[in-house]
A and B are shown apart, each in its own frame.
Chain A
Amino acid sequence: MHIHLSLQSGPLYEQIEYQIRAQIFSGELRAGEALPSIRTLARELKIGVITAKRAYDDLIAEGFLYAVQGKGVFVSEKREDDLINGKTERLKEQLRAARRFALENGVSSEQFVEIFKEIMEGTDERS
């Protein structure tokens, strides 16, 4: 497992979540593999314990990881629809980035949805 964090690329827990997901999809992290404990992860990445916990909690809620009381956190078994999920996840990541960009540049949620619709309907391109 390897994780790179940047203070300029959005919330730290999202960066961790994205990179762990990507490594599960790529097969770098295998089903059943043990991940470092929350406190070890926090120490290794020089982040807060709560940030590390939030990343694991989200990934557990999404089914990518599971926790065994007293033993630690592990990578979940791959499911049939993983490939689709993987693509969906990557797409979601791109959309989240777009949404962040929108919010940071004064584009409201309504306008964002409007723009998305225009793109889907192909009415955004002026020619």
Chain B
Amino acid sequence: MNGLEIKDVVVDFGSFRLDAALSVPRGCVTGLVGRNGAGKSTLIKAIMRQAEIASGSILYNDTPFYGNETEVLRKIACVFDTPHFSTALKPKRVVKIVKGMYPAFDGELYDGLMKKFGLPGDKPVKTFSTGMKRKFGLILALCQKPEILLLDEPTAGIDPYDRGVVIDLIQQFMLDEGHTVLFSTHITEDLDKIADYIAFMQNGKILLSEEKESLCESYRLVQAPEISEEMKKGAIGVQKSMFGYTFLTKQKEVRGEDVLVKTPTVEEIFVHLLGEGER
């Protein structure tokens, strides 16, 4: 069962074209990974129906958008990297507006979380630090009681403590197995840990999408002082340094003098796979 079924969705900005197909499994956390400009934010906007979809369709917990617009928009909530309301407003004003839009809004949960994280309700949002803004955005999204939560760079630019808070809120949301999370990221180790699935994006397309453990185990990261002809076959994203070569490979056995082989992290796959052909 999929929380989101993105079927060949095309968004055409002229200079940039998104053409994406992706299944986001229900009950799981999926990390959308890619470099700046890969189309991660555009895909999230398309899912939120905030970017015009030229062709293709999206199913939200098996429900199509057309004919069910209100229902679908109540199922999903998103935390964008910058707030979608005037930051001159104070949280207590913002929450009134949001409450009007979402009948299911949980006011009690809102009060509890604002208090827990020490966020003032009577100061303009623009006076908040980046971490406070991010937490406020996430609280607003969670209190809408969505089934599908989308997050655009949820931990970018915030300190490790707040990052921990954000991750815990995501995992708390995931205690309900009917819930689905899709977040975009440049990768940080802690996000790497909580994601169940990883989807790589490049040039507006989904390059690959796989369960995280099997993705990592399908590759090998090789460090070798010299690169042999044998190794060159199937070597991905070869990087040369003073001390030798580092590359990704799908070869089962890599042999040679002083060759180090290990299972790569998502970050290492990112660097070698998406950096291919650039060095």
Contact = CB atoms under 8 A, between A and B. Distances in A.
Interface string A45-56: 011111100100
B255 A108 contact: yes
A26 B244 CA distance: 46
Nearest to A37: B175
B196 interface: yes
B162 to A, nearest CB: 15
Chain A, interface SS category: helix
A46 B190 contact: yes
A107 B71 CA distance: 57
B211 A50 contact: yes
Contacts of B263: 11
B53 to A, nearest CB: 30
Interface in B161-198: 167-168, 171-172, 174-175, 177, 189-190, 193-197
B183 to A, nearest CB: 13
B278 interface: no
Given A43-B171, A43-B174, A103 B261 contact: yes
Contact of A106 (B177, B213, B261, B265): B261
A92 interface: no
B274 interface: no
Size band of the A side of the interface?
A: 20 to 34
A42 interface: yes
B91 to A, nearest CB: 26
Contacts of A39: 174-175, 177
Contacts, number: 65
Residue from the set A11, A47, A48, A104 with the largest chain B CB neighbour count within 10 Å: A48
B271 interface: no
Given A48-B29, A50-B28, A40 B255 contact: no
A49 B195 CA distance: 8
Contacts of A104: 260-262
A48 B254 contact: no
B175 A48 contact: no
B213 A50 contact: yes
A105 B261 contact: yes
Contacts of B171: 42-43, 46
B253 interface: yes
A7 interface: yes
B261 A48 contact: no
B255 A106 contact: yes
Contacts of A46: 167-168, 171, 190, 193-194
A47 B193 CA distance: 5
Contacts of B40: none
B175 A40 contact: yes
B27 to A, nearest CB: 7
B256 interface: yes
19 contacts: A7-B189, A7-B193, A7-B265, A13-B213, A39-B174, A43-B171, A43-B174, A47-B193, A48-B29, A48-B196, A49-B27, A49-B174, A50-B28, A50-B212, A51-B212, A104-B261, A104-B262, A106-B259, A108-B253
Given A7-B193, A106-B256, 15 more contacts: A12-B193, A39-B177, A40-B175, A42-B171, A43-B171, A43-B174, A46-B194, A47-B194, A48-B196, A49-B27, A49-B174, A50-B213, A104-B261, A105-B260, A105-B261
8 nearest A-B pairs in the assembled complex, by CB-CB distance: A43-B171, A48-B196, A50-B196, A39-B175, A106-B255, A106-B259, A104-B261, A104-B262
